[in-house]
Every structure is written in C-alpha cells, then in structure tokens.
A and B are shown apart, each in its own frame.
Chain A
Amino acid sequence: MDDMTTGSSTLDDTVHETVIAVRDLQIFDGTKRLVGPVTFELSTGSTTGLCGPSGAGKSTVLRALVDLLPHGLRRQGEVHVLGRPVRYGKGDADLRSTVVLVPQTPVVFGGSILDNALFGLRHLVRASRTELHDRVERALREAGLWNEVSDRLGTPAQTLSNGQRQRLCLARALALEPAALLLDEPTSALDERSRDTVEESVAALRGNRTVLLVSHDPAQVERLCDRTVRIDLPHACEPSAAAV
C-alpha cells in the first residue's frame, strides 16, 4: 500500500470519523473456522474493548488487522483503515506504523531505555536527534513512565520492572503517533501492582487516542472502555459483534 502514509500526517490532512472499519472478518485454519465473522468500527478518539471467552480468537483478530497472522492462517472479510481498503499479505510496514499492535508480554530489546523507546521511531521518521528525543519524551510522559526513568535513560532496559516494561512498550508505540493502538491484554502478564500502573496509563489515553483493548476481564473493560465488542467461540456464532 504505497498510497498510505504514516498515521500522524494522514490525521493532519483529514479527520476521519472511523479509524478502522471491520466487516465480516473471519479467520480460517485450512477449512476450519477459528474466528468470526466479526464486524465492528473504531471511531476516532474512542476506547473500545474487545472481549470474549478464551479461545475465541481475540488476539488473532488483532494480528489479522495488522497482517501478522501466523503462517497457515487465512483471513476473509473487509478491513478499512482511514477510509481505505487494506490489501493484506504484502508485508505492509506502513499499515503497521499506522495501526500499532502492542503484544501481550512486554518485549524489551537489548540496549538502553532510550534505545528501546527509539526502536521504531528512528526507522520511521527522518529527524534530528533532538527532535527524536523530544518525541520520545512526549511518548514516555503519555505512557506515564517519564518520571520514573527520566534520570536513567541510558541504563539497560532489562533493569525495568515488568509493569515499567509494558509501559515502555506502550511509549514505543505512542512515539509513532499511530492512528490507532491495539492493546493485546496489556495487563494479563503482570502482577497486581504493575497492573494498576499500566491501567492508569491506558486510562490516561482515553479521549486522546483511538484504542482497541483486548481483555478477558469484563471489569477492566468496564473501567477503561467507552464501548464493547464481544466475540464468541466460532461454532456458537450468530451475527456476533454486538455493540453494548
């Protein structure tokens, strides 16, 4: 998709009411249907919860949206991002910098905290060092991590706690200024205290960012989201996605 540019610039040009529109998305393993059909829309600035029983394929839906399905799985259905239909299967890097997925387990690369925060940004954006640094600082503030790490950006990121790592991953994604963030159970790999800090950070995004939050915890969705999309196990599927 050469015609799709990074999220920030596109957002500046036109304001879309709907960031992602999914219609009848189904995912198959061979002939076996794993997910769907699922239909939903993400409107700009909203926080949407995606919930359902385990095994319903919540994480698989997120991966299908950003073209990161595991080998052997096949998708069917239409997805529009910022009003344009997405053509999958081309290893589309622009799509993934527009709609950014934050995986469930925090992944920290070798190198310092700053290196990690810059991980995607420095490949995507042509800018001077100070400019990059400014954007990273803004992202770290937005993820609620700046106060904890501002004095030790050069230390190895491996020294961070699990909750801090998850917020670092969030900041890394926010630094790209994506059109939408897909959070895959951001708190399930964390202990209770870290969970609260990450939840706070996600809550702070509400209203400013377009977020799709996968969670198996209905209470969490209740706390954090404006609306909920529910998906069920495929065999029990009637026209499934019902906005609550």
Chain B
Amino acid sequence: MGLTLERPTQAPGPAVPRPSPGSGRGSRARWVWGWAYSGILSVLLTLTVLLGYLVTGIASGTVDWTALLTSSTWSPGNLAFGGLAMIYGSAVVCVLALVLAVPVGWAAAVALSEYLPPRLAKPLRLSIELLAAVPSIVYGLIGIMVIRPFVADLGDVPGGDSLLAAGIVLAVMIMPTIVAVSVDALAAVPGRYREAAYSLGLTRREVVRSAVLPQARTGMRAGVLLGLARALGEAIAVFMVIGRADDRLPESLGDVFSFLVRPGQTLTTKLAGPEPMLAGTSGPYFAALCGLGVILLALVAVATVWGTRGSTGRAVRAPRARRSSAWLRTPKDRLTTFARLGALLLPGALLVGMLGILLARGGAALNPVFWFTASEGAAGGGIRDQILGTLLLLATTALIALPLGYGAGVVIGTRASAKASRVLETLTVAVGGTPTILLGLAGYVLFCTTMGWGRSWLAGAVVLVPVVIPVVALTTAGRIRGMPAEITEAALALGLTGSQYVRSVVIPYTWPATLTGLLLGLARAAGETAPLIFTATVFFGAPALPTGIVNAPVQALPTHIFTLSQDSGAPEAIAQAWGSALVLVLITAGLLSLAVLLRNRFEGARRWTT
C-alpha cells in the first residue's frame, strides 16, 4: 500500500509565516502542543519499533547475508537460509503485475480524463476509486475461485497455484490504483495547455502526446510506483494463489517461462506463513526471517519514497521533437482513440465482473439472518461475531489514530521550517508504505510474546493504527497547506498565540478533511488480514466481544474469509466466504462513500485513496 502525496499546485506554502509551535503561553498551550507532538512521536515510535524489531532480530543470531541474497536453499532444519528464490518470486510477480496493469491502466486513465465527457467520466472515476479500496483479501478470494482455475487450464498446472496466478491477481489489484492516481495527475494539467494545443489544429492524440502527457508524466509514474509498493508488500492475496513452494529457481533463461506456471514463494508469503510462529524470538532462524523483512522493507521503501518524490518534482522533461511528424495523422488518431477507449473496457469489466461475482456467489449475505446469527465454523451459520469483531477493531483503531494522526498533521502542516516538515512528511509516508505483514510481525513479537498478551484484540487494533495515522496526518497537513494565507494573517493580526491559532483557526478549517482521511484510512484497515492473523484474531471459538486484554482474541471478517477460502473444497465454506466478502466490501464501500460525500461537501479536501 502507499499514499499519494499531493502538494498545493502553486506555491508550496503561504507567504505568511506560520506561528511556530511552542510560542503559546499557559497550560492550555502546553496541552495543545503536547497533543500535536505526541502525534509525531507516534509516527517515530512506529518506525522505531519496526526497525528495533528487525535489528534486534538480526542481532539475536548471525545472519549470513551472502547466503540470504544468493543461495536458493531454505532449510531451517539444516540452518541453511537462502532467500534468492523468494526475492526472485517477489520480482517476478511484481514485474508480471506491472506489465499487465501499467499499459492498460495508463491508457484507461487517458481515456477517462481526455476522451470521455465529464458526465460519464465522473461516475466511472468514482467507481474506480471504490475498486482501489476493495480489500486485498477479496482480490485473493477472486484469485482462488477465478484466476487459479483459469491458469490451471492455461498451463496444465494442477490446482493452478503459480507465479502467473499471483501476478494476475496483483495486476487486477493495483490497476485501479494506477488508474486513479494517473487520472489525478492528468486532471492536474491546466486546461489552458489543452486549449492552446487544440487551437493550433492538433488532433486529440497529438494534444495528449505533446501537451498533456509531458506534464502528467511524473504523476503517472508515481502511480505506478505506488502500485509497485502495494504489490511488493501484499501478503495475503499472493499467499492464497502462489502455492508457497520453496527453493524454486529456474536454472536457465529458457526455464523462466515454464517456471511461471509453477508454484513459488515470495518474501511476503514466507513471512505470512507459519514460520514466524515456529522460529521463536531469537536465534539464527528468527534472524534470517528478520533479514528477509529488511530486504522487503528496503524494496518497498525505495518504491514508496521514489514515488512520492516523483509526484512532487516539478521538472517537466523537454520533448526533443523537432522533426515533422505529420504522417497519417487521421488514421493514427483514430487508432489511438480506439485503443484507449478499448483499454477502458478492462477496468470497466473488472468493476462489473467483481460486483457480479460478489452478488452471485455471496448471495447469502443478502439474507439478514446471515448478519445476525453466530457462526458455526466452516459448517455454516452467520457472521454476527465476525462483524462485531471487525467493528470493535476499527472503532478502537479510530479512537487511537484520530488524535495522533491529527496531531501529526498539525505539526507537519504548521511547522515553520519547511525542511523539518518535509522530513516528517517523508517519514509519515514511509510508515504508510510499510508492508502490513511487517507491522503484524513486530506487533506479534512486542505485544503477544514479549508483553505476554497472547492473542489480543487490543494488539490487533494497535497494529492497525499505523495504517490509519499517515492517511489522517497527510490529509490534514494538505488541508492546512491549502488554507488561504489571509485567514492565517487575520488570526495573527488579532494577536493569537500559536495554540490559540490551532484551536480557533486550524481545527475548524480542517476537520472535514481530517474526517475524510480517517474514513479512507479505516476503509483500508478494515480489509487488513495478515497482521491480524498473528496478533488478534481466531477463526472460531472466541466470544463475540472479548473481556480483558490478555488472551482475548476476537473473530473478524478478513480472517474468516481467509480461513474458509483455504478450505476451498466444501461448498458450504465457499458460500460463507463469498458472503463474508460481500459484507466486507459493503463496509469498506460504506466508509468510502461517507468519505467521498464529505469531500464533495467541503471543497478542497484532497483525494487520499490508493
């Protein structure tokens, strides 16, 4: 996952200096700034815990980095820890996902923004945003039920578990993200550039190519890198369709293609498997797993930070086209129109197919009894406890993340020093881009074993907090930056202190944006599966609402879907899984629609999906 980092299109900050934190007087001022800084502290704390977990893990046993990076033999019994096959697996599925999703996604984005009339484009764009927020567990389920059989037919693979299936699932998953971010980048190109180009008699293809794309290119590339970060960090959807076979590495170049239709393993699926539970919390086995975590984190960090940089860079690359290109103008124009509108069919079909399959197979969810009766495991029953558990986790996460995220946003947005705020912002983006599987593992070691909570709903809620905080913080900061300078000026001219300024100017101006951010963040957190499996949830046998903290697990929708889908033989279980998936999608869609409503109501709150 990742976050788009948008800056105001004009000047990066208002000319009026912001009052610097700490300039307030009295106990109230201390309270406001204490709150704001605890938000930033929570971001730093998350990073510290995460890095601390990885570093102490590595230090607890010697890691043979050379073997980890070059050997393909993973055999904990013989203390042989080679991670090359997993790195290869991660690379292959990501490359497959990008190759399949990027050309179509870009073309569809261009069609949406430059070809369709706004009347059509607006609802379509909204539905693609919704598609981008569908939990990955649902994509995984579709992978199991639709893509795996498809690959099985295609490559004569028993079961269909393969790198190819994983690549296709990821492609389907990241395409909406790529389209949504690219459409934003295209929409940010001022209309006067189009007009100037059209009024010189250029065809639509030529206008897009020479006037629009050169300016949207950095933003569109950022969309791809965010998609890549999501694909790299995705654990559950890949886990469900890749087959998780160790040590599979093609021996020659010719084997690369035949290995595509065989099972494999990626960094994330290894970490999401049972091994972290078996490895204990020290020793060479644990250290090697932490080593894999470091490699994964490094890859994701590069993609996320690079992607964010790309979207903020102002440099427009000069088109060095000085030769005449006036050949076959009309046919070329017609052909690209055809191709681009055609590309739009794919996300469209995805949307329709997704809705269709969820409604057709998850029909059980439309019966109210399904919502309000307790589950009977794989045998049947309803999902009342799972819904309650999910809502409990989300509510707790929201309670913790809202004040912290808001505080962090206020500090990032009002910090006088642009440099400090940029550093803090990058750190926040980094937290937002962290693979949730790593958050789950760190939380597992910290809360469940070191602090002795066992499986606990509170551990799960705390693990989800870093998923939500960055979204809240960055929307808030963006809104504060977009605040008209006159408001600040007027407030300061009245002699307000820094904390009074925050209370009476910043908060009333930003709360809709903050709430939008919270809802978007929760929509994402609602579908998180991997971190909860380690820390908070069980499939069956927990009370509907837990009492106490220690050894107090809950049941939750993502875990329910995940466990049922592993047992894909029984038709009862399958129907349950689809029903639960539909309910989960409805919950995220509900959160997202609220967010969109809020955003449209209060102009200027920016888009923060993906």
Contacts and interface: CB of A to CB of B under 8 A. Distances in A.
Given A71-B118, A109-B319, A126-B324, 19 more contacts: A91-B204, A93-B203, A94-B201, A95-B201, A96-B200, A100-B201, A101-B199, A103-B195, A107-B193, A109-B196, A110-B317, A110-B319, A115-B318, A119-B197, A122-B323, A123-B326, A124-B200, A156-B318, A169-B196
Contacts of B117: 71
Interface in B306-321: 316-321
Given A110-B316, A111-B319, A122 B326 contact: yes
B326 A126 contact: yes
Contact of B206 (A66, A114, A123): A123
A120 B60 CA distance: 65
B201 A96 contact: yes
Contacts of A71: 117-119
Nearest to A169: B196
Nearest to A136: B322
B196 A176 contact: no
A115 B193 contact: no
A82 B316 CA distance: 39
B497 interface: no
Contacts of A127: 324
B200 A122 contact: no
A172 B200 contact: yes
Nearest to B315: A110
B325 interface: yes
Contacts of A110: 214-215, 316-319
Contacts of A102: 199
Interface in B180-204: 192-193, 195-204
Contact of A97 (B200, B214, B319, B325): B200
B322 A114 contact: yes
Contacts of B325: 122-123
Interface in A146-186: 156, 169, 172-173, 176
A173 B320 contact: no
Interface residues of A, number: 40
Interface residues on B, range: 20 to 34
Interface string B287-322: 000000000000000000000000000001111111
Contacts of A112: 318
A107 B192 contact: yes
B203 A100 contact: no
B271 interface: no
B199 A68 contact: yes
A172 B197 CA distance: 10
A105 interface: yes
B25 interface: no
Interface in A61-110: 66, 68, 71, 91, 93-98, 100-103, 105, 107, 109-110
A129 B323 contact: yes
B327 interface: yes
